[in-house]
Chains A and B, each alone.
Chain A
Amino acid sequence: MYFRIIRNDISKSKLITLTTMIFVVAAAMLVSLSAILVVNLSGAIDTLMKQAKTPHFMQMHSGAIDTVRLADFAEQNSNVEGFQVVEFLNMDGAEIVIDGTSLAESVQDNGFSTQNEKFDYLLDLDGNVIKVSDGEIYVPVVYMKDGTAKVGDKVEVSGKNFIVAGFLRDSQMNSSLSSSKRFLVSKNDYEEIKSLGSMEYLIEFRLKDLSSLSAFETAYTSAGLEANGPTVTYKLFKMMNALSDGMMIAIVLLVSALVIAIALMCVRFTLLAKIEEDYREIGVMKAIGLRVSDIKKMYLAKYTAIAAAGSILGYALSFVFKGMLLENIRLYMGESENSSYALLFAIIGILLVFLAIIAYVSGVLRRFRKISAAEAIRFGTSQEKTAGAKRFYLSANRMFHTNVFLGIKDALARKRLYATMLAVLAISTFIIIVPQNLYNTISSNSFIEYMGVGNYDLRIDLQKTDNISEKADEIVKTVDSDSVIERYTVMTTKLFKAKMEDGTEENIKIEIGDHSIFPIEYSKGRAPAGENEIALSALNADEMGKKVGDVITLVIGGKEKELTVSGIYSDITNGGKTAKAVFTDHSADIIWSVVCAKLSDSSLVDDKVSEYDNKFIFAKVSDIDEFVTQTFGSTISSVKKAMHVALAVAIMITALVTVLFMRMLVTKDRYSIAILKALGFTNRDISAQYVSRSVFVLMIGVVLGVFLANTLGEVLASAVISSFGALSFQFVTNPLSAYVWSPLLMICTVLIATLIGTASSGQIKISENIKGSL
């Protein structure tokens, strides 16, 4: 019997059933996809890091190195399982020419390595440890992704030729957020080019017990071993690998949550419409003695069928799309070893969606209890109470056309009915605006200020070179006399020792200079201003357990100096562990210096970059926009894609739900429509009234959506962005797009959808709905 009821019902309401089905399928698909993505990403990262044997602790170092002392340390430390010093040959981008194009524009520190013997393997795209022959070169996978290189291309490194034999996965440096990239060549070839670049060492350790990593870090620092460069740990490698795909998963999760909400609302809509349509029958069924639970079963049967079919279809569809979304994960990290769990989690996710729908339907059907049999049989519609808008009288209305008045009055009088539509429109607005704001924020110039980078046009890096101080002076002399440079500052990073509360000492890199010239955003407090002040990056503050106002003791030239924490900022540079101060110091060694400059005319940046690049061959000159593009470029472009998809999805949802809702309203209101027609209101008048209702609800929905986007959306987005290391930030909105074009687009959509949805009102016959007897 149920099958017959379901079949009849579906064939009678094809559109509504189809729409509900679409939302259920989409919800099931997205939940399944999120599960598959999460399991695959974490699995793939684990697999990659296991296959590559990623180091647990790595200290980058340039300058002289005492490998014997390091080996001794490794031998004596009982926790060390493996130790090696890897050479990383830094090469100027201009010296590397792939298929005729040089990497001069690249902001990455490109360098060469040979395959490691003990751990930290460079893997091919099948996850095997690469064995490279003479004359061959393996290129970082990121250059395959952006189309810079393909297998068989010729690569010229300072005059020596290689052939691209394949691409490599580097468990340390895969991510575009990691600033270095390793190319792999054979030992013989490496020896040949060794003299052409500057040497950097990666001092790497694998530990027996990863949980005692921080104890190991302290031991390394206390031993006073080589530390002229950033320190990176296993956790950070893992995070870097997870970030860009993690963002995508976060967006998919957000969208799936919203689609589930909309699917449920859609079910509510269609169910209420159906109940409204069947009102009299329900009354009759109750009158002849059917139990509420029996009547409920008939309705539940249909939704169980839809939910089951939708879930299965959604699950199947997620397999069609998973390849597309997993592409990036597969390319960068390879297959996950435990991908079979993905199916299990996807099934659990889909079961949850299914159960949520059934529970919700059952909840909505509770209103059967409230239906009075007598009332249902007499009136055929629910005699819902109208409330509110008491003071909004037609007799006192001078402002609106009567049709507009009637539309607004109806929306105000039946708030509960319109609440569902309002919620969907607010969510749609939210879906449109949040990704838009997110995109505007991360693509705006000021965003880098949240990332620990000031808003300047170009930076000149002095790193991995001798006599940094003198070279910096030379640059300053040029920059100072350059009329195009509006303002500049020199930041010198030095390594100090900080005394911890337990008496141990840890290394801390402090950027010394005038931090007021190119200010960054502080999530707490402010920039250091006095000699005895220091600002910490979030990661450092976290690790040291310091907050604004706390005191840090530094050991400078053997003497202790107390500094007060003036502020905490987010930083993505140099492994995220940095500090800023203004005191003068001549004792500690300079690790690197940066000259930051802002031009009076930003359009001259390109010329200036190449001019300085030629002039200061010992320095790396970068255009900050280029830096942002190359660091965040892929993220910005995927957010842009998400923005477009979100817009399309939201408009589609708005259109579908409005059509559906309006059809339901017309069915519900057929009696009132007949009255209005009898009184001499035209079909156009009726349409105008419905358009007024929907546009009125839309306007409130848009205001609500914008408000939510700027509050809740900002919190959600900052949760996503904080994964980059930015602690707090504010949306940068494009007001024209967010507050003019998007709402206008919504209004047009709602307008057209309302006209389509209410088209059937023209067919409502007065006589059929009012007439008592023939």
Chain B
Amino acid sequence: MKKIMIGENIVKYFQVGHEKQNVLDGVSIEINEGEFVSVMGPSGSGKSTLLYALSGMDDINGGKVTFDGKDLSSLSEKELADIRRTKMGFVFQQPTLLKNLNILDNIILPAMRDNRKSAEKITKKARALMKKVGIAGLENRDITQVSGGQLQRAGICRALISNPEMIFGDEPTGALNSKTAQEMMDIISEINSEGTAIILVTHDAKVAARTDRIMFMRDGKIVNEMRLAKSSGTDMEDRTKKVMAKMREIGI
């Protein structure tokens, strides 16, 4: 299977006074097309930093990230932005919608950057996505007039508007109650089943249990990896138990 993303020996540190604080300490990771990967680890383990490094949103101090065959460090700011806009989608922990725009405009924003002329087509697609995630009818609402769960769904629609090859999720269910979180994960899993690769960072074993592969991080390193192939059953409870057992095993 074709690898859509390859991270090789990624190093990222923050300078604190004269000291270097390693956040990513030689992380290597590969993600295949259509794969569903999650990253788990305690707070401060570097999992979010890894996500931002892989998407090119954060500079790295060493190593290499290749996306779709292109070395991200060799790209200009504009080329990186182009890739983020057309081939990547992002879902964040907090709903990151712009205050000035209504829900619909927030969703279509990345696609409108280049294709203002096909606004009608884009809007039609946005409405279809909204229907799919269950927020049809909220198009003209301000972002202050809907719930956190609805905002997060709108965030997913925005991530999908440009048909990305890969979606990055930074604790996408972190701010939601468990019922809404489950619904969100249903949507995300469905998107993955349609062929979009997904990498997400989470604390939640239930969320990780939905993915094909789990990377465990500690102190800026990937310390373990767990495959949860489709064959390992569809019973979520069972899968979650397996993940938790693994976490206990490696002490996370």
State whether these chains interact: yes
The answer, yes or no, to whether B148 is at the interface (CB within 8 Å) is: no
14 contacts between A and B (CB under 8 A): A386-B142, A394-B109, A395-B108, A397-B116, A401-B116, A402-B116, A679-B84, A680-B110, A766-B52, A767-B48, A772-B48, A772-B170, A773-B48, A774-B23
Q: Mark B59-76, 1 if CB is under 8 A from A, else 0.
A: 000000000000000000
Instruction: State whether A680 touches B52 (Cβ < 8 A).
Output: no
| A770-B58 Cα distance, complex, nearest whole Å | 11
The answer, yes or no, to whether A685 is at the interface (CB within 8 Å) is: yes
Instruction: State whether B57 touches A672 (Cβ < 8 A).
Output: no
Instruction: State whether B102 touches A393 (Cβ < 8 A).
Output: yes
| A423-B218 Cα distance, complex, nearest whole Å | 54
Identify B43's interface contact among A394, A403, A773, CB under 8 A.
A773
Known contacts A394-B112, A679-B84, A766-B58; A413/B100 CB under 8 A: yes
| A299-B229 Cα distance, complex, nearest whole Å | 60
Q: Which residues of A contact B48 (CB under 8 A)?
A: 767, 771-774
| A681-B52 Cα distance, complex, nearest whole Å | 16
The answer, yes or no, to whether B44 is at the interface (CB within 8 Å) is: yes
The answer, yes or no, to whether A682 is at the interface (CB within 8 Å) is: yes
| A221-B1 Cα distance, complex, nearest whole Å | 116
| A393-B116 Cα distance, complex, nearest whole Å | 12
B142 and chain A: residue at smallest CB distance: A386
Give min CB distance, B203 to chain A, whole Å: 9
| A395-B84 Cα distance, complex, nearest whole Å | 21
Instruction: State whether A680 touches B49 (Cβ < 8 A).
Output: no
Instruction: State whether B43 touches A774 (Cβ < 8 A).
Output: yes
Q: Which residues of B contact A683 (CB under 8 A)?
A: 77
Instruction: State whether B52 touches A394 (Cβ < 8 A).
Output: no
Quick one: which of A367-395 are within 8 Å of B by CB? 385-386, 393-395
The answer, yes or no, to whether B28 is at the interface (CB within 8 Å) is: no
Q: Which residues of B contact A772 (CB under 8 A)?
A: 48, 92-94, 170-171, 174
Instruction: State whether B99 touches A394 (Cβ < 8 A).
Output: no
Quick one: which of A662-716 are within 8 Å of B by CB? 672, 675-685
Instruction: State whether A672 touches B98 (Cβ < 8 A).
Output: yes
Identify 20 new A-B residue pairs, CB closer than 8 A, beyond the known A394-B104, A402-B109, A685-B81. Answer: A393-B105, A396-B119, A397-B112, A403-B113, A409-B100, A409-B101, A410-B100, A672-B98, A675-B96, A678-B96, A679-B109, A680-B110, A680-B113, A682-B82, A767-B52, A770-B94, A771-B170, A772-B48, A774-B23, A774-B48
Q: Which residues of B contact A766 (CB under 8 A)?
A: 52, 57-58
The answer, yes or no, to whether A398 is at the interface (CB within 8 Å) is: yes
| A725-B77 Cα distance, complex, nearest whole Å | 65
Known contacts A767-B52, A773-B48; A682/B77 CB under 8 A: yes
The answer, yes or no, to whether A416 is at the interface (CB within 8 Å) is: no
Q: Which residues of A contact B86 (CB under 8 A)?
A: 680
B96 and chain A: residue at smallest CB distance: A675
Q: Which residues of A contact B119 (CB under 8 A)?
A: 394-398
| A685-B113 Cα distance, complex, nearest whole Å | 9
B55 and chain A: residue at smallest CB distance: A678
Give min CB distance, B93 to chain A, whole Å: 4
Quick one: which of B138-183 are within 8 Å of A by CB? 139-140, 142, 144, 158, 170-171, 174
The answer, yes or no, to whether B78 is at the interface (CB within 8 Å) is: yes
B201 and chain A: residue at smallest CB distance: A773
Shortest beta-carbon contacts, A-B, top 9: A680-B85, A394-B105, A680-B84, A767-B52, A766-B57, A772-B93, A682-B81, A767-B58, A413-B100
Identify A679's interface contact among B44, B85, B93, B117, CB under 8 A.
B85
Give min CB distance, A1 to chain B, whole Å: 26
Q: Which residues of B contact A395 (CB under 8 A)?
A: 104-105, 108, 119, 123, 126, 139
Instruction: State whether B58 touches A765 (Cβ < 8 A).
Output: yes
| A676-B90 Cα distance, complex, nearest whole Å | 11
Q: Which residues of B contact A682 (CB under 8 A)?
A: 77-78, 81-82
| A351-B174 Cα distance, complex, nearest whole Å | 56
The answer, yes or no, to whether B46 is at the interface (CB within 8 Å) is: yes
Give min CB distance, B224 to chain A, whole Å: 19
A378 and chain B: residue at smallest CB distance: B94
| A78-B78 Cα distance, complex, nearest whole Å | 94
B114 and chain A: residue at smallest CB distance: A402
| A248-B86 Cα distance, complex, nearest whole Å | 62
Instruction: State whether A774 touches B49 (Cβ < 8 A).
Output: yes
Give min CB distance, A109 to chain B, whole Å: 70
